[in-house]
Amino acid sequence: MTPYSLSSTNRETALSQFVSIERYTRGVYVRVTCPSIGQREAPIITAEVGEALATGDMPKGGTLVLDLSAVVMLTSMGLGMCIDLRRRAETAKLKPHLFGMSRQLLDVLRMMKIDRQYTVVHGKEELGALLG
């Protein structure tokens, strides 16, 4: 497990305040640490994950796990962030997965049909098997 260390040059905001990114042998684990993803948080999270995917040597056929267990509220910008992260994962040849959502958040993702773009992981055992 190697947490990414991203440079913060030419940035007004320290990016690590909203997301934690860890690399495992079979994939990347992205844990969102803020309770709501809105207009301010979504572009910052997307930029940090995009930079980690672009700079890291990702295993082909690996996984990107997006952990939303700390998230309580997801605005339309947050929904767009989920779509953008899925696209970036597929560009990096990673299979996108969602983990740790509350029932209400999962219902929102199902209503907007975003859950169809990801594989939903329900248990920690399954998560451990995905990441290695």
pLDDT digits (tens, 9 = 90+) for 79-107: 999 999 999 999 888 999 999 989 999 99
Let me know if residue 1 belongs to a domain: no
pLDDT, one tens digit per residue, over 24-67 is 888 899 999 999 999 999 999 999 999 888 877 777 778 999 99
Let me know if residue 80 belongs to a domain: yes
Let me know if residue 108 belongs to a domain: yes
The DSSP symbol for 17 reads G
Let me know if residue 118 belongs to a domain: yes
The pLDDT, as a whole number, for residue 15 is 47
pTM: 0.83
- Cα dihedral sign for 16, 20, 21, 24? positive
- What does the pLDDT average to over 9-20? 59
Number of structural domains in the chain? 1
Let me know if residue 101 belongs to a domain: yes
- Inform me whether the pLDDT recorded for 8 exceeds 70: no
Full residue range of the structural domain in which residue 83 is found: 16-131
Q: Could you tell me which residues come within 8 angstroms of residue 114 by beta carbon, excluding any fewer than 6 positions away?
A: 79, 82, 83
Cβ(89)–Cβ(30) below 8 Å: no
Tell me the C-alpha to C-alpha distance, in Å, between residue 43 and each of 49, 68, 99, 112.
Answer: 10, 16, 20, 20
